[in-house]
Amino acid sequence: MEEDSRGRAPSTPQLLNLIQDEGEWKVVREEADGGRSSRTTSYEAQEDTKLELKLGLPGVHDEERQAGPRERLELRQQESCTELSLGCFASHSRLATSTASTTAGAKRGFLATVGAKAQEACSQRHQDKEGCGNELTLGGENMAGERKKGCCPPSSSHDSAAGPVHSSSNPHQGRGAVLPVVGWPPVRSFRRNLTNGSSSKQSPDRQSDELGDKAKLACKRSLLIKINMDGIPIGRKIDLAVYDNYQKLSSAVEELFSGFLEAQKDLDCTESGELGAEEKIFSGLLDGTGEYTLVYEDNGGSRMPVGDLPWNVFLSTAKRLRVLKSSELLHGLVSTMQIQAVICFPLLKSKFYLWLQLCRWNYFIHVIVSVPQSQVSSSFIFSPCLFYRLKLPLVGQWIVDI
Amino acid sequence: MGRGGSHAAPAAASPPWHALPDEVWEHAFSFLPADSDRGAAAAACRSWLRAERRSRRRLVIANCYAASPQDAVDRFPSVRAVEVKGKPHFADFGLVPPGWGAAAAPWVAAAADGWPLLEELSFKRMYVTDDCLEMIAASFRNFQVLRLVSCEGFSTSGLAAIAAGCRNVRELDLQENEIEDCSIHWLSLFPESFTSLVTLNFSCLEGDVDITVLERLVTRCRNLKTLKLNNAIPLDKLASLLRKAPQIVELGTGRFSADYHLDLFSKLAAAFAGCKSLRRLSGAWDAVPEYLPAFYCVCEGLTSLNLSYATVRGPELVKFISRCKNLQLLWVMDLIEDHGLAAVASSCNKLQELRVFPSAPFDAAEQVSLTERGLVDVSASCPMLESVLYFCRRMTNEALITIAKNRPNFTCFRLCIIEPHTPDYITHQPLDAGFSAIVESCKGLRRLSVSGLLTDRVFRSIGAHADRLEMLSIAFAGNSDLGLHYILSGCKSLKKLEIRDCPFGDKPLLANAAKLETMRSLWMSSCSLTLGACRQLARKMPRLSVEVMNDPRRACPLDSLTDESHVETLYVYRTIAGPRSDTPACVQIV
């Protein structure tokens, strides 16, 4: 996933071994002060197993998780449609299996875009200033590489200040390699996407070949979109272009928000199940089995669970991501879709836009339209002046239950 | 000492100056333009303090944690306009974790209580919620100006509250905020009788806006001088909006791209021709060159042009800018390239501020030909140039020395060479000589950002010569503690220092601890600091708040860490309010 990441012999012994694994870089940190590091590596291992367990058809669930009654209901509903959705899930799992050991050990900066670029990189900590000074006066290229920083290094969260942790990226990309450094160059985040749309829009006669290629490259450039999670007031941004499948996206989302949840848990001081609790929350983001589900919004505002579309189609349609509580999705509020055919439904006022609660399984949309007064749960806070335009998709089969 | 009562008409001489009533002093102080002057006057004696603080109308809180909202309200009871700034500057680039703080709510609450006559509120880099906006709408009956810059945390529901609740709002200025779109048609909540709008800027809004409502609003607000649209407004609507507001002085266009149609072009050109007062232009997202000539009729009058979102390149762009002979401010993307800048420089001699933004900052290879030549040409041809922000990929000492010689009147010089540690590309030397020339020549330099390969030598020059420097940004520079020591022991007027990825350690920080109290704030991230030094600093300087942050995603339990443990991010600021209580788990106050 990270073109930049290559193995290199660490000049200071200590630190990261890079194990190439199916084309993915998996970082196994070996640090002298073992305790915490072994904890983290075992965390990664657990994460791996968690990820692996998530693969497969919706009917297959992680037995270790205790499913509450609501979740069981959801399972049943999903199972009933298993045969219908078999096709898509199979492809989904194919996607996922190809990246078995995905983003293990990925510690990202809180700008997932830049952070993910150097996901296995942890910044160098120069404990001795002299050494640092010497290194810094070397040629620019070397420095560029060694200064890569994906995020604050995990070592700093350990008790003792671990020794410098090497960047896993190859500095010798040639002059002017893209630097996956957080917050550098110092431009505001909305400047990242500027050239995306425009270079593809430029009139062809003005484009030289070079520009044409750039336009193709531009599409691969950052696709920063907002992502919000239920219960966390502050939204984040995530760069879709960095990932190439849903599993990675899911892990990235987990990375983004796990800190928040942990912080909130710290405040609550309830249980101390650090790792286990986090994983429980975030497992099953994609297949609807977990406590939370990842949904995306497209241009029309429709919300759909992530995972149906082929990845590159998803990249171009998804305009916004949300992590919603699966329990709220249960009654089918996965997406808000514009009512265009509202005239068919005598009970619904065509003038006002109602909240529709919809249940959706991949390509087959199972619509439950209910009278607003009787349903309560939703993932939004509805107030009288908010109205949602709901659009029913033209494609696909839909069943309406009123 | 002047108890407020005037003396009876004196028989012989006027009362001695120290017995003049407070109102006289208040009136005298109203002529002091700068807050620092007023502060100095207030420090002279008690009666001046009383007179000054009771008559203060504008208040700027440059660091929201430097004082508590209640302190501000108590000290200045008659304030009508407040500006509060929150997060450190590096928050713009993602170096400050979300949830760090800078909540606007306590300020709004205190203001609602203590300043009921407040008219203007301005927040920069703060976390403003919809509740805050609702409280603003409900608490101040004469509220007129709301300015939110780089804020987040609110949605269009909050804007709806402002629109519906503030009868007299004159300015609604939203710059570069992150606004959640709640599909509320907030514009339609301005009542039909509402006509007082002078400034409307919603360029950062991402969602759609009802055009008909906007048109009606623009039509009835005859005093509208500034209108900045967002990206969702298409080009054809721009023409009709302009026809309804020909008195406009500042315009931010919406999306400026569409397939070329002659009638649309003529409509636009005609609409612009009607805007005789247009002086400032911005927006132009995705501008296509074919439509640029529509602007030609306003070019002569333009003083400010912000094309930093216009990813247009080629001769049309240069032709357009070159027609703006009276341009004072130009923000453009590096697509203009060196030759474009040279052309601009020769035509726009009145240029005072230039910013060149990178079109592809994260790209590997250089794709536009923008180098040091462009800046040299501009500095040579524009005698009034005083503020520069320039992103490029290569620089030489010689160019910097030339620029320094050409333009000793720089007040703000920010050069960002995109790749860290880039030396002079011809001599392969560090850029010390170049930046030293800048600080030595530009005696009035107030803001400086350095980049490229730099050693401690440049910091010695900066420390020694940059007497008026107030803000300094350093990244990937220096080679030892000496660098930081030079800065902290020199730079007499330094207020804000932000450093990232430099090999600066504990010693200069501790040695110059007293300096930190004369500064507003210090940010150091990815340097070589240890927790022990931070603890020592906090002990030594009780009026500083020393905030430490390691991993933004994890809680940071300091007690378990030893003195030798590395500190990833340090943020120190002076405060009279004591340690704040709203830190997230990842931030600890030492």
Please write the tens of the pLDDT for every residue from B136-173.
999 999 999 999 999 999 999 999 999 999 989 999 99
pLDDT band at A165; cut points 50, 70, 90: very low
* Residue (of B561, B530, B562, B565) closest to B546 by Cα position: B530
* Residue (of B89, B362, B420) closest to A143 by Cα position: B420
- Look at residue B531 in the predicted model and tell me its pLDDT: 93
The percentage of chain B sitting over the pLDDT mark of 90, rounded to a whole number, equals: 73
Burial of B529 (0-12, 13-18, 19+ CB in 10 A): buried
Please give the average per-residue pLDDT across A133-143, as a whole number.
Answer: 37
pLDDT band at A238; cut points 50, 70, 90: confident
More confidently predicted of A359 and B248: B248
Q: What would the two tokens of residue B37 be?
A: 């002057």
* Residue (of B485, B432, B491) closest to B464 by Cα position: B491
Chain A hits for B560, Cβ within 8 Å: 159
* Residue (of A82, A106, A107) closest to A93 by Cα position: A82
- For CA atoms B122, B127, B128, B131, give the dihedral sign: negative
Would you call B475 an interface residue with chain A, using a CB distance cutoff of 8 Å?
yes
Supply the DSSP symbol for B447: E
Whether A258 sits inside 8 A of B361 (CB atoms) is no
Contact B354, B305 (CB under 8 A): no
Cα separations (Å) of B550 from A27, A155, A157, B73, B385? 21, 10, 7, 35, 41
Identify the top-confidence range among A90-94, B178-182, B511-515.
B511-515
> How many Å lie between the alpha carbon of B442 and the closest alpha carbon of chain A?
24
Number of H helices, E strands in chain A: 12, 10
Of B93, B183, B421, the CB nearest to A140: B421
Would you call B346 an interface residue with chain A, using a CB distance cutoff of 8 Å?
no
More confidently predicted of A55 and B396: B396
Whether B476 sits inside 8 A of A185 (CB atoms) is no
Whether B530 sits inside 8 A of A234 (CB atoms) is no
Contact A379, A328 (CB under 8 A): yes
More confidently predicted of B323 and A348: B323
Cα separations (Å) of B448 from A345, B375, B411, B453, B475? 65, 16, 8, 16, 12
- Reduced to 3 states (helix: H, G, I; strand: E, B; else coil), residue A206 is helix
B415 φ/ψ angles, rounded to the nearest 5 degrees: -115, 125
Residues 6+ apart with CB under 8 A from A153: A107, A122, A123, A125, A162, A165, B551, B568
Whether A160 sits inside 8 A of B416 (CB atoms) is no
Contact B399, B376 (CB under 8 A): yes
Would you call B476 an interface residue with chain A, using a CB distance cutoff of 8 Å?
yes
User: Mean pLDDT score of chain B, rounded to an integer?
Assistant: 91
Pick left, alpha or beta for residue B421 (phi over 0 → left; psi -120 to 50 → alpha; otherwise beta). Answer: left
Burial of A209 (0-12, 13-18, 19+ CB in 10 A): exposed
Which architecture characterizes domain A224-267+276-336 according to CATH? Roll (3.10)
Segment (H or E) for B355: strand B353-357
Whether B480 sits inside 8 A of A143 (CB atoms) is no
User: In whole angstroms, how large is the CA radius of gyration of chain A?
Assistant: 23
> How many Å lie between the alpha carbon of A37 and the closest alpha carbon of chain B?
15
Whether B391 sits inside 8 A of A185 (CB atoms) is yes
pLDDT band at A273; cut points 50, 70, 90: very low
pLDDT band at A265; cut points 50, 70, 90: low
Give strand pairing partners of A278: none
Mutate to test the interface with B, among A3, A114, A136, A137 (most CBs of B within 10 A): A136
pLDDT at residue B396 tops 90: yes
- Look at residue B492 in the predicted model and tell me its pLDDT: 94
More confidently predicted of B148 and A141: B148
What count of other Cβ atoms lies within 10 Å of the Cβ of residue A116?
A: 28
DSSP assignment of A221-276, as one string?
A: S--EEEEEETTEEEEEEEEGGG--SHHHHHHHHHHHHHHHHHHHHHHHT----HHH
Would you call B195 an interface residue with chain A, using a CB distance cutoff of 8 Å?
no
Q: How far apart are the first and last CA of chain A?
A: 46
B116 φ/ψ angles, rounded to the nearest 5 degrees: -65, -20
Contact A324, A379 (CB under 8 A): yes
pLDDT band at B76; cut points 50, 70, 90: very high
pLDDT at residue B117 tops 90: yes
Chain B hits for A159, Cβ within 8 Å: 560-562, 565
The residue of chain A nearest to residue B94, with distances taken between CA atoms, is: A183
Whether A182 sits inside 8 A of B257 (CB atoms) is no
The residue of chain B nearest to residue A382, with distances taken between CA atoms, is: B182
Contact B14, B32 (CB under 8 A): no
Q: What would the two tokens of residue A301 be?
A: 């505002």
Largest CA distance in chain A: 79
With residues binned 3-state (H G I as helix, E B as strand, rest as coil), the percentages for chain A, rounded to 5, are 40, 15, 45
Would you call B532 an interface residue with chain A, using a CB distance cutoff of 8 Å?
no
Per-residue pLDDT of A37-76, as tens digits, reads 344 444 444 444 443 333 334 444 444 444 444 444 444 4
pLDDT at residue A228 tops 70: yes
What count of other Cβ atoms lies within 10 Å of the Cβ of residue A177?
A: 20
Contact B272, B303 (CB under 8 A): no
pLDDT band at A308; cut points 50, 70, 90: confident
Please give the average per-residue pLDDT across A276-298, as a whole number.
Answer: 69
Contact B174, B167 (CB under 8 A): no
Contact B287, B307 (CB under 8 A): yes
- Look at residue B478 in the predicted model and tell me its pLDDT: 93
Q: What would the two tokens of residue B545 be?
A: 């708040």
Q: How far apart are CA B242 and CA B223, in angstroms?
A: 14
Contact B213, B184 (CB under 8 A): no
Dihedral, CA of residue B190, residue B192, residue B196 and residue B197, to nearest 10: 40
- For CA atoms B515, B516, B517, B518, give the dihedral sign: positive
Whether B564 sits inside 8 A of A161 (CB atoms) is yes
Residues 6+ apart with CB under 8 A from A194: B309, B311, B333, B359
Give the strand pairing for B447-449 and B412-417.
parallel
Q: How far apart are CA B111 and CA B214, in angstroms?
A: 31
pLDDT at residue B5 tops 60: no
Q: How far apart are CA A293 and CA A254, in angstroms?
A: 11
pLDDT band at A10; cut points 50, 70, 90: very low
Chain A hits for B391, Cβ within 8 Å: 185, 187
- Look at residue A180 in the predicted model and tell me its pLDDT: 65
Contact A259, B100 (CB under 8 A): no
User: In whole angstroms, how large is the CA radius of gyration of chain B?
Assistant: 26
The residue of chain A nearest to residue B309, with distances taken between CA atoms, is: A194
- Look at residue A222 in the predicted model and tell me its pLDDT: 61
Per-residue pLDDT of B360-375, as tens digits, reads 888 766 778 899 999 9
Would you call B97 an interface residue with chain A, using a CB distance cutoff of 8 Å?
yes
pLDDT band at A221; cut points 50, 70, 90: low
Comparing A222-231, B61-70, B567-576, the range with the smallest average pLDDT is A222-231
Cα separations (Å) of B400 from A140, B135, B511? 19, 51, 32
Would you call B314 an interface residue with chain A, using a CB distance cutoff of 8 Å?
yes
Residues 6+ apart with CB under 8 A from A385: B157, B160, B184
> What letters, b where the CB count within 10 A reaches 16 and e where it falls short, cover B242-256?
bbbbeebbbbbbbbb
- Look at residue B407 in the predicted model and tell me its pLDDT: 94
Residue with structure tokens 């004159």?
B170
Per-residue pLDDT of B441-500, as tens digits, reads 999 999 999 999 999 999 999 999 999 999 999 999 999 999 999 999 999 999 999 999
pLDDT band at A349; cut points 50, 70, 90: very low
- Look at residue B489 in the predicted model and tell me its pLDDT: 95
pLDDT at residue A219 tops 70: no
Whether A194 sits inside 8 A of B309 (CB atoms) is yes
Would you call B234 an interface residue with chain A, using a CB distance cutoff of 8 Å?
no
Give strand pairing partners of B58: B81
Q: What would the two tokens of residue B151 be?
A: 């804020």
Residues 6+ apart with CB under 8 A from A394: none
Would you call B418 an interface residue with chain A, using a CB distance cutoff of 8 Å?
yes
pLDDT band at B91; cut points 50, 70, 90: very high
More confidently predicted of B371 and A313: B371
Give the strand pairing for B280-282 and B447-449.
unpaired
Per-residue pLDDT of B533-562, as tens digits, reads 999 999 999 999 999 998 877 777 777 888
- Look at residue A393 in the predicted model and tell me its pLDDT: 37
Pick left, alpha or beta for residue B385 (phi over 0 → left; psi -120 to 50 → alpha; otherwise beta). Answer: beta
Peptide bond into A185 cis (omega under 30): yes
pLDDT at residue B416 tops 90: yes
Q: How far apart are CA B185 and CA A19, in angstroms?
A: 53
What count of other Cβ atoms lies within 10 Å of the Cβ of residue B211?
A: 18
Per-residue pLDDT of B298-353, as tens digits, reads 999 999 999 998 888 888 899 999 999 999 999 999 999 999 999 999 999 999 99
With residues binned 3-state (H G I as helix, E B as strand, rest as coil), the percentages for chain B, rounded to 5, are 35, 20, 45
Please give the average per-residue pLDDT across A3-7, as a whole number.
Answer: 40
Please give the average per-residue pLDDT across A193-210, as a whole number.
Answer: 43
Which residues in chain B (555-574) have CB-CB distances under 8 A to chain A?
A: 555-556, 560-562, 564-566, 568-569
Contact A348, A354 (CB under 8 A): yes
- Look at residue B311 in the predicted model and tell me its pLDDT: 85
Segment (H or E) for B124: strand B120-124
Q: How far apart are CA B352 and CA B357, in angstroms?
A: 17
> How many Å lie between the alpha carbon of B106 and the closest alpha carbon of chain A?
17
> How many Å lie between the alpha carbon of B412 and the closest alpha carbon of chain A?
16
Cα separations (Å) of A19 from A26, A95, B267? 6, 22, 62
Q: How far apart are CA B205 and CA B228, in angstroms?
A: 11
Q: How far apart are CA B91 and CA B525, in angstroms?
A: 12
Whether A151 sits inside 8 A of B479 (CB atoms) is no
- Look at residue A344 in the predicted model and tell me its pLDDT: 36
* Residue (of A391, A372, A392) closest to A380 by Cα position: A372
Pick left, alpha or beta for residue B229 (phi over 0 → left; psi -120 to 50 → alpha; otherwise beta). Answer: beta
ipTM score of the complex? 0.85
More confidently predicted of A21 and B499: B499
Whether A140 sits inside 8 A of B422 (CB atoms) is yes
Any idea how long chain B is?
A: 590
